[in-house]
Amino acid sequence: MHIHYNLDNFEAVNPVVTIGTFDGVHLGHREVISALKQISFLSGGDSVVFTFEPHPRIVVSPGEDSLRLLSTKDEKIKLMEEIGIDHLVIYPFTIEFSKLPYNEFVTKILVGKMKISGLVVGYDHRFGQGRQGDFSSLELLSREMNFKVEQLSELLVDSKVVSSTKIRLALEAGDISKANHFLGYRYSLSGKVIEGKQLGRKLGFPTANIETSDSHKLVPGDGVYAVFVQTRGELFKGMLNVGFRPTVNYNADHKSIEVHIFDFESDIYNSDITLYFVMKIRDEQKFGGIVELQEQLVKDRIMALSILSKEDLEQI
């Protein structure tokens, strides 16, 4: 897969393009990309996904702090690479670009710079300044500019339309099974292990405190989770606590993210770490004392191990 951060030297064979933010690269997105690959293959052209960095809402509404992303730029690249497209364009989204009318975006960028032969869009795709461009607009332009355009119907999973918004809501509610089902893979968080207060060590359950690599990355709702943990090239089982930390930190909504890795004693401060969410065990709760908390942590460990023993590690 070729990655392009601008279009100065873009070259592709009869490119067939799809456009979007593709946050999460979920099953609905994959349906669009699958059609893109099939159409480009049948036409003898290259498949091209055109996306943006940063997310448009960060640029258009800089004062807004509610944006939570399912995938970081690096995660999106990895997911696109796994799908197997030919080209990924990560176009710089700026205020100037946001003001570009939809017809100029098509004529100047898609046709003028990329020389597209085809365009594949989702059922609700809108684009250009004020999202004024729609499928009808594209059909008119395609006849003028001599490229083909195809619109796909929505993907239904369990009779429900798959969307990034629904996946975010599921994660915020701690419904990991639903989120993973709609994503088509296990939701993950990546970051660095930072120094904590070492309270877990005193309880016999040492934890690694995690700071995410992107402050907009969505952290699932508060509670205890069964997770797989990847660090230093190895995969482990663990249980994770997500809670509210009143002190300012880099994580979205100032969440504390602490993972206890089973049968693990190495010092991993400053190491890269990735957490793969499998299932929520329970809500966060207050305890009457340390003994009561320790007893609950033992139960959490047993539950987490039981859940993780039924999971296929090869899916990671």
Q: Tens digits of per-residue pLDDT, 11-36?
A: 999 999 999 999 999 999 999 999 99
Are 201 and 272 members of one domain? yes
Residue by residue, DSSP assigns 101-164 as -HHHIIIIIIITTT--SEEEE-TT--BSGGG-B-HHHHHHHHHHHT-EEEEPPPPEETTEE--H
Whether residue 172 lies inside any domain: the answer is no
In the chain, what percentage of residues exceed pLDDT 70? 92
Are 222 and 279 members of one domain? yes
Contact criterion met (CB below 8 Å) for 24 and 183 = yes
Domain boundary (157, 176, 199) is at 157
CA distances from 101 to 104, 107, 123, 134 (A): 5, 10, 21, 12
Of the candidates 83, 90, 157, 161, the one whose C-alpha atom is nearest the C-alpha of residue 122 is 161
What pLDDT was estimated at residue 21? Answer: 93
Whether residue 65 lies inside any domain: the answer is yes
What pLDDT was estimated at residue 34? Answer: 95
Domain boundary (105, 139, 157) is at 157
Of the candidates 163, 125, 160, the one whose C-alpha atom is nearest the C-alpha of residue 36 is 125
Is residue 66's pLDDT more than 60?
yes
Q: What is the CATH number of the domain that holds 74?
A: 3.40.50.620
Are 139 and 205 members of one domain? no
What pLDDT was estimated at residue 303? Answer: 97
- Quick one: pLDDT band at residue 136, thresholds 50, 70, 90? confident
Is residue 247's pLDDT more than 60?
no
Instruction: Give the whole-angstrom CA distance, residue 309 versus residue 190.
Output: 23
Whether residue 258 lies inside any domain: the answer is yes
Which residues form the domain of 209?
186-315
Whether residue 178 lies inside any domain: the answer is no
Mean pLDDT of 208-236: 95
Whether residue 163 lies inside any domain: the answer is no
Are 124 and 40 members of one domain? yes
Is residue 260's pLDDT more than 90?
yes
Tokens of 83: 């799908």
Instruction: Give the whole-angstrom CA distance, residue 290 versus residue 312.
Output: 35
Are 237 and 132 members of one domain? no
Whether residue 181 lies inside any domain: the answer is no
Domain boundary (157, 177, 198) is at 157
How do 188-194 and 234-244 pair as beta strands? Answer: unpaired
Task: Identify which of 153-167, 235-249, 264-278 has the greatest average pLDDT.
Answer: 264-278
How do 255-261 and 234-244 pair as beta strands? Answer: antiparallel
- Quick one: pLDDT band at residue 197, thresholds 50, 70, 90? low
Is residue 202's pLDDT more than 90?
no
What sign has the CA pseudo-torsion 245, 251, 257, 261?
negative
Q: What is the CATH number of the domain that holds 288?
A: 2.40.30.30
Q: What angle do CA 194, 198, 200 make, to 5 degrees?
A: 115
Mean pLDDT of 64-76: 93
Is residue 220's pLDDT more than 70?
yes
Instruction: Give the whole-angstrom CA distance, residue 223 versus residue 244.
Output: 10
What pLDDT was estimated at residue 203? Answer: 67
What pLDDT was estimated at residue 30? Answer: 94
Whether residue 176 lies inside any domain: the answer is no
Instruction: Give the whole-angstrom CA distance, residue 153 versus residue 83.
Output: 20
- From its phi and psi, is residue 268 left (phi > 0), alpha (psi between -120 and 50) or beta? alpha
What pLDDT was estimated at residue 198? Answer: 62
Are 152 and 198 members of one domain? no
Is residue 199's pLDDT more than 70?
no
Whether residue 302 lies inside any domain: the answer is yes
Contact criterion met (CB below 8 Å) for 249 and 197 = no
- The H or E element that residue 227 is part of is strand 223-231
Domain count, the chain: 2
Q: What angle do CA 180, 186, 189 make, to 5 degrees?
A: 115
Instruction: Give the whole-angstrom CA distance, residue 164 versus residue 179.
Output: 9
